[in-house]
């Protein structure tokens, strides 16, 4: 059984991320939440190349004075071919909405690759590390392959990824697949097969929360440097969502995983083992067998239960994000 013993004080978090506009906004949420002790940032390819997501993580560390080290992660999926182009139309050519980023940075990368950094931290702090993973699951799968014993030592994993059809949300890259999972479906499937406790915050809830243009404007007015930055980087993102879905604002993907960690009562959940489709037209689809249902023998048998989020109190979540950023910015002004 995974260790769930917790030490007093803030929750120690490793943030596995592919910044990315919503990744950057979620990083601020983690950094500014008093209940969180951010002990590491690990990068993965996804919203941009690994060069760019790592550079962006370092830039965010420098720009916001974040203490946590940045460890560079996977530059390709476990099995799939590398895609030609990252999604520039969503996150901009530089992954951060094309806001200017200095050519040279004064902060440097951690000496370990991301998956070894994860192993190292989990072994140093058994039962205490929570991993918030909001990109592809490649670093987690690599860590597991190298040291399967860490599954028993991680406190909790909260991921943004997948979709289970709740409230009509089943995919954003294909009709049945979400970006972080279809980007490396083999890694996600390996991660779900391990017996560490995973909470999946998927499109079912992230697409039920919208930060409207008015919300972003108020954040810009009240949250100082952080509010201005969130506004600046999200212009491209907002244009994409307006064109792709017709919403006036942005879906709140990666910050929803942080919200679960800070206040799980915001979410309704369901448990059961999860498989990921790794080939064919449904590649990237996440399928959970509810633990309350029995079926004839199948591929879900013998797999550990994990938790998925099926509904969210969007108003309370948006208030929590807003207040955390405003308070965090005021404390650092």
Task: Just list the catalytic residues.
Answer: 18, 253
Minimum CB separation from Ca ion for residue 64, in Å? 18
CA–CA separation, 35 and 163 (whole Å): 28
- Using CB under 5 A, which of 28, 134, 191, 205 touches Ca ion? 134
CA–CA separation, 304 and 136 (whole Å): 21
- Kindly tell me which of 134 and 266 has the beta carbon lying closer to Ca ion: 134
Query: If we measure between CA atoms, which residue out of 209, 180, 155, 201 comes closest to residue 37?
Result: 155
Give the other-Cβ count within 10 Å of 216's Cβ. 20
- Using CB under 5 A, which of 2, 11, 20, 72 touches Ca ion? 20
Minimum CB separation from Ca ion for residue 290, in Å? 27
Decide: 231 and 191 in contact? Cβ < 8 Å.
no
If one asks whether residue 233 binds Ca ion (CB under 5 A), the answer comes out as no
Binding site partner of 52, from ligand BDR, Ca ion, none, Cβ cut-off 5-8 A by kind: none
Please list every residue from 167 through 196 that binds Ca ion, using CB under 5 A.
Answer: none
Question: What are the distances in angstroms from CA 46 to CA 92, 135, 170, 194, 221?
Answer: 13, 7, 20, 23, 31
Minimum CB separation from ligand BDR for residue 134, in Å? 5
Chain residues in the site for ligand BDR (CB under 6 A): 20, 22-23, 47, 134, 160, 172, 178-180, 253-254
Q: Tell me, by CB under 5 A, how many residues bind Ca ion.
A: 6
- Kindly tell me which of 17 and 170 has the beta carbon lying closer to Ca ion: 17
CB contact burial 302-316 (16+ within 10 A = b; e otherwise): ebbbbbbbbebbbee
Minimum CB separation from ligand BDR for residue 104, in Å? 26
Binding site partner of 12, from ligand BDR, Ca ion, none, Cβ cut-off 5-8 A by kind: none
Query: Which neighbouring-strand residues pair with 210?
Result: 251
Query: Which neighbouring-strand residues pair with 40?
Result: 14
Minimum CB separation from ligand BDR for residue 259, in Å? 14
3-state DSSP call for residue 116?
helix
- Kindly tell me which of 20 and 197 has the beta carbon lying closer to Ca ion: 20
Name the one residue in this structure whose structure tokens are 């991921």.
159
- Kindly tell me which of 19 and 272 has the beta carbon lying closer to Ca ion: 19
| Site of interaction with Ca ion (CB under 5 A) | 18, 20, 23, 134-135, 254
């Amino acid at each position: 059984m995974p260790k769930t013993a917790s030490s007093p004080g803030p929750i120690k978090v490793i943030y596995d991320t592919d910044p990315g506009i919503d990744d950057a906004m979620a990083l601020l949420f983690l950094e500014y939440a008093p209940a969180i002790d951010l002990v590491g940032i690990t990068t993965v390819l996804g919203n941009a190349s690994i060069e760019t997501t790592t550079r962006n993580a370092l830039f965010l560390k420098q720009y916001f004075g974040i203490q946590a080290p940045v460890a560079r992660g996977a530059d390709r999926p476990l099995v799939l071919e590398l895609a030609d182009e990252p999604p520039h139309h969503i996150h901009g050519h530089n992954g951060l909405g094309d806001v200017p980023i200095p050519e040279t940075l004064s902060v440097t990368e951690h000496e370990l690759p991301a998956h070894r950094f994860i192993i190292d931290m989990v072994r140093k702090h058994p039962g205490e590390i929570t991993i918030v993973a909001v990109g592809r699951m490649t670093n987690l799968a690599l860590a597991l392959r190298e040291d399967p014993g860490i599954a028993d030592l991680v406190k909790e994993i909260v991921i943004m990824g997948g979709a289970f059809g709740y409230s009509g949300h089943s995919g954003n890259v294909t009709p049945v697949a979400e970006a972080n999972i279809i980007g490396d479906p083999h890694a996600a499937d390996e991660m779900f097969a391990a017996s560490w406790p995973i909470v999946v915050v998927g499109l079912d809830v992230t697409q039920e929360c919208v930060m409207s243009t008015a919300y972003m404007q108020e954040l810009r007015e009240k949250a100082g440097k952080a509010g201005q930055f969130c506004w600046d980087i999200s212009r491209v993102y907002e244009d994409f969502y307006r064109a792709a879905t017709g919403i006036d604002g942005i879906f709140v993907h990666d910050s929803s995983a942080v919200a679960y960690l800070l206040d799980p009562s915001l979410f309704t959940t369901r448990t059961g083992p999860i498989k990921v489709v790794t080939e064919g037209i449904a590649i990237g689809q996440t399928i959970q067998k509810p633990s309350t249902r029995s079926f004839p023998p199948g591929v879900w048998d013998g797999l550990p239960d994990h938790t998925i989020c099926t509904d969210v109190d969007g108003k309370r979540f948006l208030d929590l994000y807003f207040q955390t950023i405003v308070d965090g910015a005021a404390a650092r002004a």
